[in-house]
Amino acid sequence: MIDERTEDLAALYALDLLEGAELASFESALAGDPALAHLVGELRSSSTALAYTAPVVAPPADLRRRVLASIDAQLAAEPEDARILRPSFSVFRTLLPWAAAACFALTAAWFGQLYLSARSEAGLLRDTQALTELSLKSAQTQLEAERILARRQYADQEKIVVETRAQVTQRDTQLAALAERVTSLSAQLKSEGDLAQLKITALASMLKNSPQALAVAVWSPEKQEGILRAEKLPALASDQDYQLWVVDPQYKDPVDGGVFTVDPQTGEARLKFKGKQPIKEIAAYAITLERKGGVAKSAGPFLLLGK
């Protein structure tokens, strides 16, 4: 690509305005650069053609009078048969500077316009190239960011899948252990009453911090009393109690089954309960966390639930 300095030298060379060492240096560069030689040829052709585009310059006002007077004087001095019209040298001397000046002015103006146009186009091309490169870099950056985000999302999804599988395996193990414990607790509680009349319900944990907590309730409809056995419940603060609730469809609100605490070390508890109201049918049990001494209507969070 030809730089601006070389373009300026090429323009001066095309007009024969380079001299000395600068001329020699440019001609040396011109001999080994076909693109530069092509540019010089174009500039010379343009400057030559520009001379023909010069506008008509009006001659001086008295030129016609002086030309006619000169012709009359020559005709009077020459024989009649030798009268040949020859233009006076003064005419050429008068017109030549004007024509040369006009040609040079037009050549300089055209060349200047060509030079400015070339510089403008070069600047526009550079700006376009810069914008294109900037757009390309922006697109590459956005693409790389999307790739990083996709890889991160894929890694997160894999992590979630692994964690979910581990949770499912752990929950399966817990369910198997709970089923075994329910069977054991049920056998123990059944041994204390009439097996044919007892209703047994297992209460599952709803605690995130104690998912292995478990309770089994055995109810005797005939005696209107039951036994609750709980395991692995969290220890309570001194101002709190666990409260058992019995859900009977005939009542709007659950029936209070009593309050209890657990062993702080093992989380075990045993409660013999009776409904504060006659129980016809038990639809579900619930254990909530209430203030010390219990409440008449459930207000705390549900910890265990069984149907």
Task: Report the number of distinct structural domains present in the chain.
Answer: 2
Q: What proportions of the chain, in percent to the nearest 5, are helix, strand and coil?
A: 55, 15, 30
* Contact between residue 305 and residue 262 where contact means Cβ atoms under 8 Å apart: no
Percent of the chain exceeding pLDDT 70 equals: 80
Which of these, 229, 204, 226, 207, lies nearest to 216 by C-alpha position?
229
Cα separation, 193 vs 301, in Å, equals 32
Are 131 and 199 within one domain? no
Are 212 and 298 within one domain? yes
Are 15 and 134 within one domain? yes
Are 35 and 126 within one domain? yes
What per-residue confidence (pLDDT) applies to 37?
Answer: 87
What per-residue confidence (pLDDT) applies to 188?
Answer: 62
Cα separation, 10 vs 32, in Å, equals 14
Of 102, 119, 140, the domain-final residue:
140
Tell me: the pLDDT tens digits for 132-175? 888 887 787 788 778 888 888 888 888 898 888 888 887 778 77
Give residue 49's domain range.
4-140
Residue 98 has pLDDT above 70, yes or no: no
- The residue behind tokens 């029936």 is 255
Cα separation, 150 vs 293, in Å, equals 56
pLDDT-wise least confident of 118-122, 191-195, 286-290: 191-195
DSSP 8-state symbol, 81: G
Which of these, 243, 246, 253, lies nearest to 292 by C-alpha position?
243
Are 247 and 125 within one domain? no
Phi, psi (degrees; rounded to nearest 5) at 304: -135, 145
Are 122 and 238 within one domain? no
Are 50 and 126 within one domain? yes
Are 118 and 202 within one domain? no
100-107 mean pLDDT: 68
Is 159 contained in some domain?
Answer: no
Of 80, 114, 140, the domain-final residue:
140
Are 18 and 136 within one domain? yes
Of 75, 108, 140, the domain-final residue:
140
Are 25 and 126 within one domain? yes
Residue 48 has pLDDT above 60, yes or no: yes
Is 169 contained in some domain?
Answer: no
| Token pair of 122 as six digits | 């070069």
Is 276 contained in some domain?
Answer: yes
What per-residue confidence (pLDDT) applies to 254?
Answer: 93
pTM above 0.75, yes or no: no
Cα separation, 303 vs 111, in Å, equals 94
